[in-house]
Structure 1
């Protein structure tokens, strides 16, 4: 993966900015703070993304730390997990957050395009545990992930993110490990607030291997 953003696009804000994106993260991260004093990020990139541009987005739950940068996948990429160059000038601020308060993902296409397909990232050298989807549901009372193309897969009940400052994202959905073996899945987000169901949103999740 070649970082093509120059300069590296990263910001630490004094005040929060509310994003309209519903899907904010697809990642594995340590519950505590990452080890070391440099930011380490890896991603699982599908083989059919070879030769194309992708966008890495990272944001803290409180919205104060954010980065958004473009990369180019090598033409001969065969799929799998790889480290991404991340020349942060705000590593201290980024690493001050526990992994449970960081969201991130890679999406196919440049950073100005809609997130039609997303793949997971691994935040920190000690990234552990399974993959999770992180959402901004505008403080919905209940959120679920359903898998209409996977009839043998139960719905996932999502939980509120365990922090008071949930500006950028507020909900975590832990994915069953068996889903990763399927390469590509379609997930539908369903949220309820004050007894009313909000609009559904379909996500295409890629796991870095051939579908």
Structure 2
């Protein structure tokens, strides 16, 4: 019995140590690489954010639902304001003992007041399983300021008349809608995936844009979900 208790205590301590291992900012100086412009810059990416909707907390903060399989990997966290004035792209290290779940990312921004003052949906966050200077890998579901609403994609439609998201091979698409925010230069539409996603599955999402009445080339997003 004592041996069983000792083993149980040991496993609990190992589990707590793994949970306690932080997600580390991996920039050279340990500070964020941020850009703040006085004039807007149009985003060059179709996918700008993959995150939960809602305002959440009032303070600045980033979290993401990181799968266990990403333990020991480098991920890239990109943050951009809808008006294109603010942009950041930073690598983070996932601890080797990561067991899957919600991860808090340290975000010591020099532009706290600007970011904290943005309305719902005005900050896009994209977390990918890849270095920041490499092609995008799998995408994790992020959270800005503790938001806990529906999983949502934030997209730059590049002037499309309509945008649709096909989730997991479904023949019925999600119709993406305008964000309805001022200065939508970095992204302009949102796709709410709440009804289309099945929790715990890996989801391949095909984005279809209609430009000048014709279908533009499709874009695939590999969104990773983790079991609760």
Length-normalised TM-score, structure 2? 0.83
Distance in 1 separating the partners of 2:182 and 2:213: 23
8 Å CA contact retained: 2:43, 2:187: no
Distance in 2 separating the partners of 1:98 and 1:207: 26
Name the count of aligned residue pairs.
204
8 Å CA contact retained: 1:34, 1:98: no
**4+ aligned runs moved over 4 Å, structure 1:** none
Give the corresponding residue for 1:137.
157
Q: Alpha-carbon deviation of 1:164?
A: 3.2
Length-normalised TM-score, structure 1? 0.90
The higher radius of gyration belongs to 2
CA 1:3–1:208: 2 relative to 1, 3 Å: farther
Map Cα deviations across residues 83-123 of structure 1 (whole Å, 9 max, x no partner). 11011111101112112111111101110111121111111
Structure 1 residues 81-96: aligned runs within 5 Å: 81-96=102-117
Distance in 1 separating the partners of 2:210 and 2:182: 20
Distance in 1 separating the partners of 2:185 and 2:54: 21
Q: Alpha-carbon deviation of 1:8?
A: 1.2
Structure 2, unaligned stretches of length 5 or more? 1-22
- Which structure would you say has the larger RCO, counting Cα contacts within 8 Å and 6 or more residues apart? 1
